[in-house]
Structure 1
């Protein structure tokens, strides 16, 4: 049995300067990838991540842009290719979450989530479909809430249901190109995106919804991403639920 070497491979990680994206960057850097660490607004955070990778002997650059802006993201892809010679893996962790019951959701918030979570995923996936090298992988980010159907999550879950559809259809459209496409669907994970605005009781209740009885960590999610990015060449067109057995 042969295994795919990750040394010398190149990955572009959107939202790579914080949260789950940062953990993904750190894991892939440890696996020998050259990294393009994408940021939307906080260049200083991305630059700090890049500096850490370089100090440890790795290769990394920071690239910026709104994931929903096809011109900005095309430039980010071009910068990555110029720096490292090509792109093997694209991981789209960038996303926003705004919680509200359907009856009271501000429709401007709905549009914001659609722009980042749906259009952003489509833009990044479209660019990746045309630029990732053979033997590569495209990994988008969904959510376990699409199955849990928790109150307050309707708009967010709807946007991530679209991510599932984009990812699984694209996997079939890339027939013959030797590029896998999958979606990762985390459960409750201890990041600012999840923790902000929740009281201790809510966090504790959600932490014990899975049989392992804890929140996920960004490193838990990064482990699954690393598997899909490298050795998991026979996993394709799937949504992988990484949530401790919650669903």
Structure 2
């Protein structure tokens, strides 16, 4: 709790205590006014100083960091979009089979192709190496962002792979379509990765790579990044 927030609470408690002990209301009023004025002076004295204006050297440095970061982030965003497309395709395949709109053979064929797309997306994320020219903190944030995305992509790939293997007609233990669908749905629920929570890293990078006078933002996080 900050001092400016704590001060009104302490003043209110003190006035309540004084009200109980001071019977003379004129004296109480005098003390109340004195305490109020003292609290105002104290709050003004302890206010947070205004941030120092950014120097031209600092602005130039941030501009250089932006030029290094933005190409990396654009590739990262393309990878995020591909992950979203793959996951949507995965769910569409399972929903189509659940509705008995496609056969188990078609499910297996489509998941086999999707597995290759998921592997390619994971490799693309792995190949998108954080630029070494980034300042240390920026580099660490980008590294964390890439690592979280890579873990998510790998979990997504495994979910698709395991579902594809289970949908192999040669490995199925039942010919009943509803049972096959239930089995695939259970794998999907069990293997689905948790959300990609990278909002903290993206927000920190946005703050660090934005020049105060510049209203434009150097980063544009995807809607799915939370």
TM-score, length-scaled by structure 1: 0.26
Larger radius of gyration: 2
Q: In proportion to residue count, which structure has more helix?
A: 2
Q: In proportion to residue count, which structure has more strand?
A: 1
TM-score, length-scaled by structure 2: 0.28
